[in-house]
Structure 1
């Protein structure tokens, strides 16, 4: 999937990437900043899940140094990103819908390449669209 196709699919699904961390080139100062915050924070279990870090491993992380060691041990050197999509509201039984960026949901995903990450994000967007439309 090339960049133009990714862009087109993101537009088609009314979605955006809110935050991205290329782990293979993230400097330690960043790892110690925002990235460690979103991984070590108790409210970001979705981020930990996206990275394949178990709950047990997460609770054993006592410091940012431990996080760095775990990312290295798991060979997590791809891309961690947060994607967003407006919540869709069906309009009657016609299959039409409305949405606004005033109400949206996010998810954290991890992949080894931008193409794989984009495919995961598009799949997520399609799944949440179907769930919203089924309500």
Structure 2
């Protein structure tokens, strides 16, 4: 797939990689770590993948839609076994850690936020573009949740 061609991404709108980048910049959203499971975990794991599975084990497995390590009988550092488990469970797409500033000080005009105080979320999708679409949806929901918390809503 040519990532510069148009791709269905967000709310049914076709966007190019350049448009995704512009959308992310306008939203203060970024991809922190991108792991293509099908190619990066087939042999010797890169440090970024080792870090993801060692530091964020439960979140990564949750976002992959899989059981946690205790339920599958794996340890975070059993890389070959994890690779086989992911393959056996049809997970060969993209595992991406997205980040966004934590929204604060909501007003009628919006909110403030800074990259000095941000949160992250692991998202799995078969394509990078689908992961980006899911990240934008996550960010929208996260901001709304924080707005409701500030205003004492449920």
Do the aligned partners of 1:48 and 1:58 also contact (CA within 8 Å) in 2?
A: no
Task: Determine the structure 1 residue equivalent to 2:147.
Answer: 133
- Which of residues 25, 30, 54 in structure 2 aligns to 1:16? 30
Partner of 1:51: 64
**What TM-score comes out, normalization by structure 2 length?**
0.75
TM-score by length of 1: 0.85
The match for 1:71 among 83, 86, 92 is 86
Q: What's the offset of the Cα at 1:110?
A: 0.5
Higher helix share: 1
Range 61-70 or range 120-129, more displaced? 61-70
Unpaired runs of 5+ in structure 1?
Answer: none
CA contact (8 A) 2:35 2:49 kept: yes
How far has the Cα of 1:56 moved from its partner?
5.8
Structure 2 stretches of 5 or more lacking a match?
1-14
Out of 99, 124, 127, the residue aligned to residue 138 of structure 2 is: 124
Contact 1:90 1:132 in 2 (8 A): no
Deviation at residue 90 of structure 1 after TM alignment: 2.3
Over 3 Å counting, the alpha-carbon distance change for 1:58 and 1:36 in structure 2 is farther
Q: Which has the higher contact order (CA 8 A, sep 6+)?
A: 1
RMSD between aligned residues: 2.1
Q: 1:24-43, aligned counterparts within 5 Å? A: 24-26=38-40, 27-30=42-45, 33-39=47-53, 41=54, 43=56
* Matches of 1:129 and 1:14, distance apart in 2: 12
For residue 44 of structure 1, report the CA deviation from its aligned partner. 3.0
Q: Check whether the contact 1:20–1:79 (CA below 8 A) recurs between aligned residues.
A: yes
CA contact (8 A) 1:85 1:104 kept: yes
